[in-house]
Amino acid sequence: MSISLLRKVPLVKLSSRRFPIYKQKLFCTMSEEINSQEVVNSTKRILTTQTAESTTPRVKKIKLKKYKSKKVDPTAPLGVLQLEIDELLKAHNLTRENVTNDLKSILNDKTFEIKDKYHREVSNVKILKLTSNGDGLAVIDNPVETEKKQVVIVPFGLPDDIVNIKVFKTHPHYVESDLLDVLKKSPMRRDDLIKDKYFGKSSGDQFEFLTYADQLEIKRNTVANAYKFFAPRLVANKVIPEVGTTIPSPLEYNYRTKITPHFDMPKRLKQLEIKPPLGFGQKGRPKWRKETLEVGGAGPILDIDECKLATDILNIGLTNERKRFDQEFKKYKKGATILLRENTIILDENKPVEEQLGEGSTDSDGKVSYITIDDKEHGVKLAKTCVTNTRQIVTEYVDGYTFEFSAGEFFQNNNSILPIITKYVRENLQIPNSKIDEPNYLVDAYCGSGLFSLCSSKGVSKVTGVEISADSVSFAERNSKNNGVENCKFIVGKAEKLFECIDTPNDRTSVILDPPRKGCDEVFMKQLAEYYPARIVYISCNVHSQARDLEYFLNDTEKGKDYKIESLRGFDFFPQTHHVESVAVLSRV
């Protein structure tokens, strides 16, 4: 049977879920004929196809894991490492391609077969050089792509050591390892010098097995290498002076005036029942010091009851706070850091010492712990206490000056070397060939609580200090008043806008730069060049950013070309570690 259609009959598709053409309509005109059975059969086919497709399971597309590289500041340790790797590769006729690791295979290895090949023990590895971070660098065979090599970081390895290692982490162009055994010692290695039972495990120090003379020379090389990496044009033009010998710290141990032991709360744990380790981080899982394998435990945080780098009063405070932690650890709901900061009191000999101590770490009897010291040079007696309250105001005593600041805020951590560096800065700020009656001015950018401003104030007519932190400026003004210094003015503001408020003549003004680790930005360096001071002393806790900044200042600012670097050298604020402070002195030609 057929049906003559007298009008357009829309046949609309029955489902919109599986068919993309569901909005289209099928039309028959008056002149067309369509068999009704065919319509029924066609509808059945559509329904059957749809049902079959809807019951077919979807095949999930497997998403492969990809390595996500993080943006790194070139002057930060990981950024510097890349340059050190390039230098190592060049010395051994290798390229980046020769040492590229197959991260994609490792990340997507479900069976651990590939990971186990990469993360393995390797014997008889020769350490080739030291990084600026104090770790050894070596080259080993790639275990999977046998035509390739791998660059490996070996903490506590020294150049010419022959060692056994365990590779445990892979990066695109290097791997990390633990030191297992020292088979043949480097001529530099002096394990008999080690005093700290945690050395070789703790991440806090790297150089205890070196003579102090070797430590100072390594740090001199760190300064020189920083300029080679980040000031290549200055090096090529031979305008970098020979790096001076590193100025040693009067104290090689027991110098740190601040430490921060901490502990972690295990995940998904709401209540601590077992006391966790309280101390500092462990550097991997090294096993080379067989006699101390059990010391401090095997977790990521070592349980530390003594810090050889900290001052005596901080170790007394550490003992006090560990005893307190033994009793109170169950009260904590999450991990925490305990501040231990040295505080100095100039004693009035007419009053009992205990009445002058103030708040501090207490012993088991509830009494504030302290030690006393005689400063014969300035004829005063000092008391040292340990402060744990981050908001408490503490005092540091430097070369006869007192500096107050909040315990949790930044202040240099080695007070034994501060009189040496402040004197060095003060002497190098003086403008040569000055007449007796000519005024000298000082601008202290990043002045903090006034350390360099106050210690340099005697040799100048006026000091202007600038600091972004209003609290720091408040303390700088307070310290100026407490020390009877009347020629210092402090301003709250960004260093980048510093020279908008400076009214001293540039020909008679010296500038101190003491920025944070990231260094100065280009805007500031341009303004510094435009101000055109007579002398510049740049103090840096990151010599790599210092080198970058001076490369830009001397080469890429219009008036920067009129300056020369008179001297460049390191100061050892942190013996037994890789850290070095760098001081560069610039003058107009």
The residues carrying an active-site annotation are 541, 581
In sequence order, the β-bridge partners of residue 152 are 138, 175
Contacts of 287 (CB under 8 A, 6+ apart): 178, 179, 180, 181, 293
* AA identity, residue 20: P
CA nearest neighbour of 511 among 458, 456, 444: 444
| Whole-number Å distance between alpha carbons of 204 and 201 | 9
Query: In angstroms, what CA-CA distances link 288 with 119, 199, 285, 308, 482?
Result: 18, 11, 10, 20, 52
Q: Tell me the C-alpha distance between 131 and 226, whole Å.
A: 11
Do residues 136 and 129 lie in contact, with contact meaning Cβ atoms separated by under 8 Å? yes
Short-list 568, 520, 543, CA closest to 424:
568
Structure tokens at 263: 């502990």
Q: Is 230 helix (H, G, I), strand (E, B) or coil?
A: helix
d(CA 69, CA 71): 7
Rounded Cα gap, residues 228 and 238, in angstroms: 11
Distance of CA 20 to the CA centre of its chain: 56
CA pair distance 570, 223, nearest whole angstrom: 7
463 CB-near residues (< 8 Å, 6+ apart): 441, 442, 443, 444, 453, 454, 456, 457, 487, 488, 489
Query: Helix (H) and strand (E) counts for the chain?
Result: 12, 28
The CA–CA distances, whole Å, from 60 to 57, 63, 447, 512 equal 9, 9, 60, 62
Strand 2-4, strand 33-35: pairing: antiparallel
Partnered with residue 402 across adjacent β-strands are 397
Contact status, residue 353 vs residue 383, Cβ threshold 8 Å: yes
Give CA–CA dist 324/330, Å, rounded: 11
